[in-house]
Chain A
Amino acid sequence: MIAALLAEKLDGRGKIFLIFLALLALLVPICNLLVPAGSAFHIGTGTVVLLGKWLCYAMLAVALDLVWGYCGILSLGHGAFFALGGYAMGMYLMRQIGTRGVYGHPVLPDFMVFLNWTELPVAWWGFQNPVYAMFMVLAVPGALAFVFGWFAFRSRVTGVYLSIITQALTYALLLAFFRNDMGFGGNNGLTDFKDIFGFNVQSAGTRMALFLASVAGLVIAFLIARFMVTSTFGKVLVAIRDAESRTRFLGYRVERFKLLVFVVSAMMAGVAGALYVPQVGIINPSEFSPINSIEAVVWVAMGGRGTLVGAALGAGIVNALKTTFTTGALAPYWLFVLGALFVLVTVALPAGILGAAESLIKRMRGSGSPARKPAE
């Protein structure tokens, strides 16, 4: 039954995408854990972590594509939801340190001891419990998206104005989280994690588990998004994107559709952030910086908006390029490359890399079959 539902909800590119992720989940552990270190096929733990990071970015891109590609809500603040999910995970990880911190305090994280605090702030209560922490990973970004969306969508803030206030939202959070008295580690953020669910965060096995969790997270996010956009709900989203007031005159409460998709997307971004933090080992306020959110928009635009697969692909490609161009001799040129790519894609490939690749394949197939040729 599940297989039948999947077949109904997935198109060709979705199937290829899931097969690709399945191969990744199969081959990366083999090449990392079973293939000996000297072999050409060995993948180092550093690479595993890097791939895991990209998968989290891909999840953020899918979340963003859901609101932007399908509903036309250009959020320039999706990094905020990613960072909030990351902070919720970071708080759980901080509470797991226990007495192993520099100051050895059983309850308070190091930075609180350093600030001469004596009690755990209310916001931190319960975060030693993994179930509660995972709930907060969803609830905090979801609640913020709900409150923000409630006001923004009801007041019919759309287009560039909405983009600007989403940008302001993430910037406001950036400034707030920089402050020490917010109680989230200020400038330094949360780091020096030891255990996650009882396992050492640094060990190769845990790293592999986190990588696989990221693959699973991306698959689940993709399937949820796919389910939403293929339902009638998705048709209404596209209708809103194409002609918002027309949709309203048809009797749809546009703000409710926007609110629902925005909240789901924010939660997805939050989970992506929560998977990201234990892999990179730190969460600090710079994750809220507006440039991160804008970069996520670039991934989606480059990969191909409104396709979900394209968004994930874009996140992978741009970050692979970023890794290449920000290390070694090419480092000074990264921003030029990013800028050039963005211009090139928007001008030459309006449907993104995925759209361009698909139309190329279609054209090659079309010219390959003689039956398609016009009769002369």
Chain B
Amino acid sequence: MNTPVVRALLYLDGVNVTFDGFRALRSLSLTVETGAMRAIIGPNGAGKTTMMDVITGKTKPDNGDVLFADGTVDLTRHDEASIAELGIGRKFQKPTVFESHTVADNVLLATAGPRGAFSSLWGARARVERERIDEALETVRLLAHRDRRAGELSHGQKQWLEIAMLLAQNPKLLLVDEPVAGMTDAETETTAELLREINRDHTVVVVEHDMSFVRALDCRVTCLHEGSVLAEGSIDTIASNERVIEVYLGR
């Protein structure tokens, strides 16, 4: 493969994905610079989640480039675990935390460090400093709940716990899929604040439907439609774009 010269943390070019004849992604191209925050919007079936799946190695694209870290890593050649090791963390649409573990243990399992089966048996992870876990929990305002079982948390708290787990992984790139779905207005506001805080030292890509939340993120927005990019720019440019209004926002 002839690697193009790329100056971006994440670089997708001409990516196609087909499921049983359905073209989920049609030569999708997207660039996210290091340190940026990017919001991805688009109607259902626009390919937002498929794009996340391609980046995290869950789905292999039919063709196209999926490059990471200034084009030095070809993500299509890695599996989920090694992509996570490379520094891409993902928060799922539906909050999936380890329900029978405590909040602190959830974060412990996510903390960067050795991931081997044997090393974990001899307690390599048990030495993870309590402060690091507490720091992540502090950021997402869950420190008071550290010893509760994650299954007992409210929906919004589970979403935040997932974000804390992402933080603990200390990834270069955070992929956040619909973080405020099902949240109250107050929780939504807190989450936007939280993501802006995290963006200070991480690159963040957020997929979201809630336009007021996207506005609160105050970042560049990409609108997907039928598997490719429809428009890209500031929230105001997007919100006034004729095509975006037609397919997504509605008149």
Contacts and interface: CB of A to CB of B under 8 A. Distances in A.
Interface of A: 228, 231-233, 235-236, 238-239, 242-243, 245-254, 256-257, 259-260
Contacts of A248: 80-81, 84
Given A248-B81, A251-B84, A253-B81, A228 B101 contact: no
21 contacts: A231-B123, A232-B124, A232-B126, A235-B108, A236-B109, A236-B117, A236-B120, A238-B98, A245-B80, A246-B97, A247-B109, A249-B56, A249-B80, A250-B84, A250-B165, A252-B81, A252-B115, A253-B117, A254-B81, A256-B116, A260-B121
A249 B87 CA distance: 11
Contacts of A228: 121
A259 B121 CA distance: 13
Contacts of B62: none
B100 interface: yes
A238 B99 CA distance: 9
Q: How large is the interface on B (under 10, 10 to 19, 20 to 34, 35 or more residues)?
A: 20 to 34
B109 A242 contact: no
B60 interface: no
Task: Pick from A231, A236, A248, A250 the residue with the most CB of B within 10 Å.
Answer: A250
B48 interface: no
Contacts of B165: 250
Nearest to B92: A246
Contact of A232 (B90, B96, B125): B125
A239 B109 contact: yes
B121 A233 contact: yes
By secondary structure, the A interface counts as: helix
B91 to A, nearest CB: 9
B105 interface: yes
Given A249-B80, A251-B81, A242 B98 contact: yes
Given A231-B122, A251-B84, 17 more contacts: A231-B126, A232-B123, A233-B117, A235-B125, A236-B109, A238-B100, A239-B98, A239-B109, A242-B101, A243-B98, A243-B99, A246-B92, A248-B81, A249-B90, A251-B115, A256-B117, A260-B117
Given A242-B98, A249-B80, A250-B110, A235 B105 contact: yes
Interface in B120-161: 120-126
Nearest to B102: A235
A161 to B, nearest CB: 19
Contacts of B85: 251
A226 to B, nearest CB: 13
A242 B105 CA distance: 13
Contacts of A239: 98, 101, 109
Contact of A233 (B89, B92, B108, B120): B120
Given A232-B123, A235-B105, A242-B98, A250 B117 contact: no
Interface string B155-192: 00000000001000100000000000000000000000
